[in-house]
Chains A and B, each alone.
Chain A
């Protein structure tokens, strides 16, 4: 038995894994479109067989998986204990904001509460989600004694307790809820790795290094911190990152307040800005007959037509030919190897071309591709830096070879191994 290490990039919609032996030779390298599989099955199917000959002693993870909180909310496992009539507190600062946690898992309390009442409320929420095991307590105008009794009650019931240090401050409440929610997601990742590989040393990328100690350390911006460290190390001024999930520019600039989908959160983070058209924007015909890209990107499930299940045409589908020729990307979308899927995508773009009423020269697939590439190029231009100061990462950088013929295939896991 020889020692081996495993690198994992766990994104919102895709994962990349790579195992290397002690001598640094590649034992396995694969990418997966996550809605069609899970980390658990990837590990069991592809990594477990390696353990017959190798001991996976270390696992290194960079993640953007916690972004799933955006679409699924924290709902799953976090209970909130709030002052009565503050159940809708996510609307106080902006009535159009999304709720960060499930409304059904809120326990409203007034100062005359009893432990008996608390017990009944806990039974109620446990019926909604029996697996709930984290509680955020955010109560203002309660005595210290009352707060301690509430906290003890949840500890006795085997809950992890997260207290909002400033109960009147909704910004602080959002931060506490994100901590609690991401803790659950992190536990899920760790338990799946341990279930498959026993007790390897698990390291998450935190700020500028891999860390073994990640309890109560928030990993929300792990992937951004990793990218930032990478381009700073290479002494670049600007990073262009184009992968399946987002097309962004990143500068060496941090911001203390994160404008999250749930409202502002005091969260020091590296700023990034979306550029080009979102890769998951839907390409469709507007009611007045012209071609448009949807403002809101499509959900990652079922994803693009490339993945074989969607009927919606997304921006990334326009590049199916280039993608089908790239080994890494074909692994993400194995159904692309089937001619039927390529024909289906091609005919979908023909339908879009014919649907453009009023236009003598409707936009065909070639023009759509040109526009998407040029738009990204123009947006880079607006962040003008000296050419040699620009780094370009992300699997889909190869789609933009016309703009930068020096782009080379990008691999998260190869980058991870460089930093171990």
Chain B
């Protein structure tokens, strides 16, 4: 018989990331954190990154509430560690020294959920269930979503003795040292120096200064947003911006498997208060596009530092996320600079044209019936004016929610 006791509970150094990956296999975006709030492992498999947002959500719970093993709290408040209404954050305790925080999407939620207990001591909170799920027109979809999340948590919770092993401070210290060593190794292999970039986006100036240096054996990455303009309508919380930047750094330094507190400690951010990049938006409406802008700017600076293309001018590229929603059915699309993914839309539309010619996609779709909603998150760049556009009935659209009627025409033109 399969015997748990025969498993050797020992650290395998850098190979330990395999264990974390298996452990978080069912989550798209998740973090494991210890009691001190130190990030042990981060899994980020989506463009809309929530790396730092998850840590902020955890800190809010830790500050105001008592989180015990068997508890799961939820929130989606973009002004308090969240991202958008449709992205729900789950903050849970696995042991006294191990906490699991993750986020997942459900387009049917378009209202604010303040920090609330979803599960307490492994029992569903019946009050929350009856207030939030039972009256919802898409009750079944909502119940399925939350039940699945609870199931994922439970499968992690049951993974003893592995869970106890991950909670041991000794193991955590070994893992942190492994990650720090790996960061230093990768840091030393890449260019250092300073670079800066200014961009006017929707009439607001964003200034980014990047400094990568080693001084007295301390390796530091600094991003300075000083002189970025104050926010008016368009803005995003600092943790939203930081999440996007961390993912860009992780990609640049090839540290996906090792992203943890010792690496976060080396990244210093300077952000003026209430600026475009440091003021939370009520609904998080601009988070997608501002994450895209910051990611592209940082990538440009990192490439400038590492290559001879120092004089190359920065050109912002359009990006879009599309969510088509009709009752319980949701189809998503990501239109990016180098890749394109649009789920099968034939349930909602009659396609009249679908063609890919010279890396340029052109799709014309006619809406089949009423009740279709399109949520668009759109980073629009005038550089791509003729190459990339999304139109409804021949009119270009912007970020936001669009209600589509029968026989409305959707046009997508996207050059890769």
**A residues at B contact (CB < 8 Å):** 85-89, 91-96, 140, 166, 168-171, 240, 264, 273, 275, 277, 287-291, 293, 358-359, 363, 367, 370-371, 374-375, 377-384, 387-388, 390, 392, 402-406
Closest 6 CB pairs of A and B: A85-B355, A88-B356, A95-B340, A387-B1, A94-B341, A404-B2
Which chain A residues border B181 with CB–CB below 8 Å? 358
**Of A291, A405, A406, the contact of B15 (CB 8 Å cutoff):** A291
Which chain A residues border B361 with CB–CB below 8 Å? 91-92
**Of A88, A91, A264, A378, the contact of B19 (CB 8 Å cutoff):** A378
Complex CA distance for A273 and B25, rounded to whole angstroms: 10
Task: Indicate whether A382 sits within 8 Å of B18 (C-beta atoms), given known contacts A168-B351, A358-B185.
Answer: no
Q: Is B7 within 8 A of A378, CB to CB? A: yes
**B residues at A contact (CB < 8 Å):** 1-4, 6-8, 12-15, 18-19, 22-23, 25, 155-156, 158-159, 162, 181-182, 185-186, 189, 339-344, 346, 350-351, 354-357, 361, 363, 416
Task: Indicate whether A390 sits within 8 Å of B2 (C-beta atoms), given known contacts A92-B356, A94-B340, A170-B344.
Answer: yes
Which chain A residues border B158 with CB–CB below 8 Å? 384
The closest CB in chain A to the CB of B15 belongs to A371
A95, A169, A171, A382 — which one has the most chain B CB atoms within 10 A of its CB?
A95
Q: Is A387 within 8 A of B356, CB to CB? A: no
Q: What's the minimum C-beta distance from B153 to chain A, rounded to whole angstroms?
A: 12
A86-B355, A168-B351, A403-B6 known; 14 new pairs, CB 8 Å cut-off, are A85-B357, A91-B361, A92-B361, A93-B341, A94-B341, A95-B341, A96-B341, A171-B344, A264-B344, A375-B19, A377-B2, A378-B159, A378-B162, A382-B162
Complex CA distance for A363 and B18, rounded to whole angstroms: 15
Complex CA distance for A92 and B356, rounded to whole angstroms: 7
Q: Is B339 within 8 A of A380, CB to CB? A: no
Q: Is B3 within 8 A of A403, CB to CB? A: yes
Q: Is B356 within 8 A of A89, CB to CB? A: yes
Q: Is B12 within 8 A of A371, CB to CB? A: yes
Q: Is B6 within 8 A of A402, CB to CB? A: yes
Q: What's the minimum C-beta distance from B180 to chain A, rounded to whole angstroms?
A: 13
**Of A91, A92, A287, A403, the contact of B2 (CB 8 Å cutoff):** A403
Q: What's the minimum C-beta distance from A390 to chain B, rounded to whole angstroms?
A: 5
Task: Indicate whether A382 sits within 8 Å of B2 (C-beta atoms), given known contacts A86-B355, A89-B356, A375-B22.
Answer: no
Which chain A residues border B19 with CB–CB below 8 Å? 375, 378
Task: Indicate whether A380 sits within 8 Å of B2 (C-beta atoms), given known contacts A85-B357, A375-B18.
Answer: yes
**Of B339, B341, B354, B416, the contact of A86 (CB 8 Å cutoff):** B354
Which chain B residues border A170 with CB–CB below 8 Å? 344
